[in-house]
Homo-oligomer: A and B are copies of this chain.
């Protein structure tokens, strides 16, 4: 019964706790791993960074528990598809809604009803609160990719709640 929402409750508490140390609201609407946070204060940037790091380590740990056959993925696109299906279902009990790529190492994963943004009212007035609810998940994606052998930069953006786009950049080596 309650286990499916446990992660969401805990995530909410984590964000609230980290933000309690820096209550000044920022005005940025993007959050990400090694990406820029527009208009955030130094304390908020640190909180976003902490959340992203926590997500990264959880993503790594989850990645290590993936079934062995997934490690045999040859194509980058297969790995991204796996994140959109299996990882998303494991964490959010739903699949990502769409995955697009330019076939040059850039992937855009779109969730039309991102669970961690659902508790917020729809509309534009809460947009500036969105980054802190995205940082952990950016790290989660980066961590899972890392375990699967892919270095990446993951950022997120929200144009209208609760639609969320995660952009995964995989630098060519």
Contact = CB atoms under 8 A, between A and B. Distances in A.
Interface in A41-96: 50, 54, 57-58, 61-62, 65-67, 86-87, 90-91, 93
A65 B7 contact: no
Contact of A65 (B1, B57, B66, B67): B1
A90 B54 contact: no
A36 interface: no
A97 interface: no
A90 B1 contact: yes
Contacts of A65: 1-2, 5
Contacts of A54: 10, 13-14, 17
A49 to B, nearest CB: 11
A124 interface: no
B13 A57 contact: yes
Interface residues of A, number: 27
Contacts of A9: 57-58, 61-62
Contact of A67 (B1, B4, B13): B1
Given A7-B7, A58-B9, A66 B2 contact: yes
A67 B90 CA distance: 24
Contacts of A17: 50, 54
A71 to B, nearest CB: 14
A3 B86 CA distance: 10
A54 B19 CA distance: 13
Interface in A6-37: 6-7, 9-11, 13-14, 17
Interface of A: 1-7, 9-11, 13-14, 17, 50, 54, 57-58, 61-62, 65-67, 86-87, 90-91, 93
